[in-house]
Amino acid sequence: MKTAPLLALFFFTLGNTWVEAQKLTWLSDTTQARKWYQQALTLKQKGNPDSAYLFLQKAAIIYQKNKLWRLKVSCSNEITRTLLMKGKYKAALQNALIALQESQTKLKKVNFTSADALHVMGIVQYYQGNYDKALQYYQQGLQLKLTLLGDSHPSISSSYNNIGIIYYRKGDFTQALEYFNKDLQVCLKTANNNRLGIGASYGNIGNVYFDKGDYEQALTYTQKALQFKQEALGEFHPDLASTYNSLGNIYSSKGELDKALEYNFKALYLWQQALGEAHPNVAAAYNNIGTIYEEKGEYEKATDYYQKNLQILLKSFDENHPDLASVYHNLGTAYTKQKKFELALQNLQKAWHIRRLALGEQHDDVADSYMGIGNVYCAKGEYDKALDYYQTNVRIVRQTLGQKNPTMAVAYNALGSVYLAKKNYPAALRYYQRALVANIISFQDTVLTSNPILGRNANIYLDGSYLLTSLQSKAEILEEQFTQSHAIPDLQLAYRIYCTADTLMTQIQHNYSRENDKVAFTKRTREIYQSALPLSLELYQLTKDKIYLEKAFYFAERGKALVLSATLAESKAKTFAGIADSLLLQDQLLRSQIANYSQQIAQQLLQAEAADSAKLQHYQTLLFTAHRQQENLISKLEKEYPQYYNLKYRPNTVASADMQKLMDEKTAVLEYVVCDSFLHVFTLTRQNFELQSLPIDSTFHRKIVAFRQAILNQEEDLYQQVAYSLFKILLPASLPKSIQRLLIIPEGELTTLPFEALLTRNKRIKSKFAPYLLNKYAISYAYSARLHYERLTQSPENTQKHLLALAPIFADSGTSAMVTRERPLLAYQDTSNDKNTTNNNLNSSGFAPPEISRGWLRNGQYVSPLPASKREVESIAQQFEQRGNSATIYLNNQAQEEQLKSSDITHYNYLHLATHGMVNEDYPELSGLLLAQDSTSAEDGILYLGEIYNLRLKAELVTLSACETGLGKLANGEGVIGLTRALLYAGARNVVVSFWKVPDTSTADLMENFYAAFLTGQDKAQALQTAKRKMARNQKYNHPFYWAPFVLVGK
């Protein structure tokens, strides 16, 4: 279930102060009090309540002294509003009581000032959580206004707005919408339009649709609200925070969690600057940030933010205020997910008690409390208790929200989960079917064999995440039923459900704009595809219908690198859609800014408590603005360039037969899917297509770790054992003897395993003569068959080879200006606790190489020289030139970032970088390549990941002759997020990268041999095989540690 968002109440209209200001102009009195009063109104409008309060206090004293009671009460009303802005609710109540009493005893019965005093008292009661009292005061004030001014006067709008909010908080959304629309109509009729009032109306209408679960409508209205409020207030007014807060809630509910965080942090910063730390609106921002971290599974962070929220609200509200209930509820849900059940129950029951007291039993917030408590009992395995709470939740939700809304879908999903746990499959299916009906507007069929049809461009569901849960669970139940009934129709129905889920997941991912959100979603999609694949395989075995085998391959592909594929498709669409150069330039500039700001934010976050909060906030604000500009640009491109839209969203799949047509007789494709208990291996050759499934357990994963450890630590016994064992598991015995090349499409832990170092025989042989897989096959790697197919179908490379090679070397003070050499040249520094290194490094393995490594080894800004890199690039350049090709090299201080960012980079189809590499798995934005450190350059001498994405390459091959350049953050279903991925996006067709820290001299030897073989006619995979085999036969470097780390991603 989703945790409850708190609405920021600056959409709440505090009233129309302009009426009283106008009346002041009728007075002939030009006292200082009048000036103070008008100055206070201006300050309040600008979001400065502290100064406004002081001026109003001064004016009120003068008006009371002169017995100008109308003006005194008007001033008191404004003081109350100002106190509310400051979050001083108790003081606001005391002041409002005095103003109301004075209006009733000192003024005529029917007058605007008295109506305003009633209105202000309604606001105060609202903030106290007394919704019924607030409604009474609003209605009394509204009647006076209608009597005095009619139903179209601008001041009426605030009454309609605030009455609407009361109905909203009471859960009566029909009445709320009625009053918000009345408010909107009045604002639209106002002379020159009341832009701020229109914005507030749209915002509150958006909030209603959000709570009704119609996120698209909510988004439409809230974006309108932002537009009108920005027109009225500018870009940086604190009153915009409420709109950003609401947008954050919407994006969070749509699963766009990183995007939601940006909006909620933007709201937080605006409120902190305007209202201080102790204001309830700041608390609301903390709450919503907490809900996002909870959705991301970062429960400790979530509870930290909830506690911040709680401490502020405890100082602002009475202990039974409804907003406190929301905090207790959210703490309870977080504790449930952490399996702290006693704490969870304490907080959830406290929330339930407050909500029943404040809102009554028949309220959707109370229903949410029943759901939360039910979740605790379900997690504890007390299913009967859970059922009681879930059933009560369903009853209230049905009465308050109706049958068609996401909350009802969640309720039915919860009931289904309990019956599934109790193995009551018919009952579980019934509830999951009801969840489908509740979540899909046009779907009414409760027949269990009926499934919704989701068109590719349809948008008929309310909440995609909950719908995905319903579909996935229904399919799993049918699979369980099959184990008992052996009825093939059960499996076929489950298969059709997975196909529907596939369509749904495509739609959801298309709606995401942040890459991090897309990548996070692949964890969910991979789980479903890994269930759909074995089901398809079982249907193939039962029916012998090859469509199921092909579908298994389809599901395997859908579980790999979807985000990378979509990103490359978008890049290609920009190239071929005829987009104006000015727009492409704007896009490039925004991407560059986003990369820079993301990197700066990562550098601050890396410092944890030592981070500069001002800098962090500054760059987060800049990133927020750049992302919004980028989204607006992309929206413009999609609308104005139909070909861009079509190319970007064109279905991107590849059939096994399509792959086979492009394969020669000597090549095999091995695609791996690693599930919990099975390893699935697809084998494609020119003639055959088959799937092998092998049972695996935890020992398989331990062997992968041991294999890597054995190479890094040169543990011969361990290596011999696991290298052969993994070979028997990973390599199909049915591979034809004619095969000479393998294309490996790995997954999970296999993505950083060098297959070349596997042993084909279990024989104790010295490394020089070991039966490496390298000796049988030339091996290359790919993220997916789909991406490899696209590479194969691209136009052939330019036969003329143009090389650009860079080697900073770091051998003189000019290239190491940024560092101080505090250690001997050959010192190998332990950076196992350095967050700038990956966990998979040589230091943590305990093996110290005998020579300089090309890792970015730092201790007090130290960078080690790479003397062999000079010989390496000079030799490679000479080889190019000897064969009639061109070569440009930059050494030492000339090997700068500018060379790679220059427009001339497109002239080179071979790019070779011999330098230090660095990988940060926690913050991939800080991964990069170290180049010349020139203090006179505008660049910082580090080519970061985001900068690589923005290079404009036309390279047939990019070789990163550096450490760990093939590593990065491993994302389930997406592969490694690192330098390889960035280079492919930037335009590289093939990439050579490394899996661990590599020594300087042996790397230079390997690279020279690689290019020598390639330039004499071997393809890239064969050339790398030749170079590795030569090194494996070299007495000095025959261990896999030296030659196995470098792999070819491509063809």
The whole-model pTM stands at 0.88
Does some domain include residue 29?
yes
Asked if the model's pLDDT at residue 1030 lies above 70, the reply is: yes
**Other C-beta atoms lying within 10 Å of the C-beta of residue 268:** 24
Secondary structure of residue 988 in the 3-state scheme: coil
Q: Is 771 in contact with 761 (CB distance < 8 Å)?
A: yes
pLDDT of residue 798: 61
**CB within 8 A of 593, min separation 6: which ones?**
622, 626
Statement to judge: residues 850 and 980 lie in one domain: yes
Backbone phi, psi, residue 438, to 5° = -65, -30
**Domain span including residue 600:** 579-640
What six digits make up the tokens of 122?
Answer: 């309604």
Under the phi-then-psi rule, with left for phi > 0, alpha for psi from -120 to 50, and beta for the rest, what region is 941?
Answer: left
Residue matched to tokens 């966990």 = 839
Q: Are 370 and 392 in contact (CB under 8 A)?
A: yes
Place of tokens 């289904």: 416
C-alpha count within 13 angstroms, C-beta hemisphere, residue 303: 15
Structural contact between residues 751 and 561, judged by C-beta atoms closer than 8 angstroms: no
Euclidean distance between CA atoms 1018 and 338, whole angstroms: 56
Q: Using 50, 70 and 90 to split pLDDT, how confident is the model at 33?
A: confident
892 and 1008 belong to one structural domain:
yes
pLDDT in tens, 694-730: 999 999 999 999 999 999 998 988 999 999 999 999 9
pLDDT tens across 774-800, in order? Answer: 999 999 999 999 999 998 888 765 657
- Convert the pLDDT of each residue in 300-320 to its tens digit: 999 999 999 999 999 989 899
Examine the fold and report which residue of 764, 789, 814 is the final residue of a domain before the chain moves on. Answer: 789
DSSP string, 601-647: HHHHHHTGGGS-HHHHHHHHHHHHHHHHHHHHHHHHHHHH-HHHHHH
User: What is the 8-class DSSP label of residue 951?
Assistant: -
Note whether residue 520 is domain-resident.
yes
Cβ-based burial of 585 (10 A; exposed 0-12, middle 13-18, buried ≥19): exposed
Tokens of 1024: 């790398």
User: Is 60 exceeded by the pLDDT of residue 850?
Assistant: no
- Name the percent of the chain lying above pLDDT 70: 91
If DSSP states are collapsed to H, E and C, what string results for 116-176? HHHHHHHHHHHHCCCHHHHHHHHHHHHHHHHHHHCCCCCCHHHHHHHHHHHHHHCCCHHHH
Q: pLDDT grade, residue 634 (50/70/90)?
A: very high
How far apart are alpha carbons 746 and 782 in whole angstroms? Answer: 8
What the block records as the tokens of 321 is: 């205020």
Residue 811 pLDDT class (50, 70, 90 cuts): confident
Establish how many alpha carbons lie within 13 A of residue 86's alpha carbon, considering only the half-sphere containing its beta carbon: 18
Q: What is the distance of C-alpha 472 from the center of its chain?
A: 22
Are 965 and 867 contained in the same domain?
yes
DSSP bridge pairs for 912 = 805, 959
Same domain, 893 and 773: no
Report the distance separating Cα 256 and Cα 510, nearest Å: 11
Q: What's the whole-number mean pLDDT along residues 942-957? A: 93
124 and 51 share one domain = yes
Q: Which of 559, 593, 611 is the last residue of a domain?
A: 559
Residues 851 and 947 in one domain: yes
Q: Is the pLDDT of residue 562 over 70?
A: yes
User: Residue 464 in 3-state DSSP?
Assistant: helix
**Structural domain tally of the chain?**
5
Residues 662, 519 share a domain: no
Q: Give every CB contact of residue 11 below 8 A, 6+ residues apart in sequence.
A: 165, 200, 203, 204, 207, 225, 242, 243, 246
Shared-domain flag, residues 808 and 733 = no
Residue 550 exposed, middle or buried by CB count within 10 Å (0-12, 13-18, 19+): middle
pLDDT in tens, 64-83: 888 899 999 999 999 999 99
Give the number of C-alpha atoms closer than 13 A to the C-alpha of residue 160, restricted to the C-beta side.
Answer: 25
Confidence of residue 765 (pLDDT cuts 50, 70, 90): low
The pLDDT assigned to 102 comes to: 92
Q: Taking a C-beta distance cutoff of 8 angstroms, is the pair 77, 121 a contact?
A: no
Torsion of CA 460, 465, 468, 473, to 10 degrees: -140
- The predicted model gives 103-121 an average pLDDT of 91
Measured in whole angstroms, how far is the alpha carbon of residue 830 from the centre of its chain?
33
Query: Could you say which DSSP state residue 892 is in?
Result: G
What pLDDT score was predicted for residue 812?
60
Tokens describing residue 661:
């047509």
Q: Among residues 224, 146, 229, which one has the least CA distance to residue 194?
A: 229
Q: Where does 987-1019 have alpha helices with state H?
A: 1000-1015
Alpha-carbon dihedral angle through residues 594, 600, 602, 603, given to the nearest 10 degrees: 160
- Two tokens, residue 517: 């959100």
Shared domain check, 782 and 711: yes
- Using DSSP's 3-state secondary structure scheme, residue 693 falls into strand
Q: Are 495 and 479 in contact (CB under 8 A)?
A: no
The answer to whether residues 675 and 634 belong to one domain is no
Which residues, in sequence order, are CB contacts of 353 under 8 Å at separation 6+? none
Rounded to whole angstroms, the Cα distance separating 29 from 793 reads 84
- Strand ranges of the sheet holding 802-807, from the earlier edge strand across to the other edge: 689-695, 678-684, 667-674, 741-745, 778-781, 1046-1049, 991-994, 957-961, 910-914, 802-807, 886-891
Mean residue pLDDT across the chain: 89
- Residues 138-165, mean pLDDT to the nearest whole number: 92
Rounded average pLDDT over 1031-1045: 92
pLDDT above 90 for 819? no
Q: Helix/strand/coil (H, E, C) string of 815-882? A: CECCCCCCCCCCCCCCCCCCCCCCCCCHHHHCCCCCCCECECCCCCCCCCCCHHHHHHHHHHHHHHHH
Q: Report the alpha-carbon distance of residue 1043 to residue 1036 in Å, rounded.
A: 11
In this structure, is residue 966 part of a structural domain? Answer: yes
Interacting residues of 257 by C-beta distance below 8 A, sequence separation 6+: 251, 292, 295, 296, 517, 520
CATH code (residue 780): 3.30.420
- Give the whole-angstrom CA distance, residue 438 versus residue 448: 14
Q: Look up the CATH number of the domain holding residue 46.
A: 1.25.40.10
pLDDT above 80 for 851: no
Do 587 and 550 lie in one domain? The reply is: no
Intra-chain end-to-end CA distance of the chain, in Å = 46
- Three-state DSSP state, 1046: strand
The label of the residue with tokens 């995979």 reads 1021
Tell whether 438 is covered by a domain.
yes
User: CA-CA distance, 207 to 10, in Å (whole number)?
Assistant: 12
Domain's final residue, options 789, 807, 835: 789
Within a domain: 241: no
pLDDT at 854: 61
Report which of 441, 431, 384 is spatially closest to residue 410, judged by C-alpha positions.
431
SS3 451: coil
Whole-number pLDDT of residue 456? 59
The residues, any chain, with a CB within 8 Å of residue 419's CB and separated by 6 or more, are: 425, 427, 428, 431
Give the helix/strand (H/E) hosting 694. Answer: strand 689-695
Question: In terms of pLDDT, which residue wins out, 1031 or 765?
Answer: 1031
**Average pLDDT of span 322-338:** 97
Contact indicator for 973, 559 with CB cutoff of 8 Å: yes
Does a structural domain hold residue 1? no
Give the max Cα distance, the chain.
108
Domain presence at residue 967: yes
- The reply to whether 843 and 889 lie within a common domain is yes
**CA dist 416 → 413, 419, 432 (Å):** 5, 5, 6
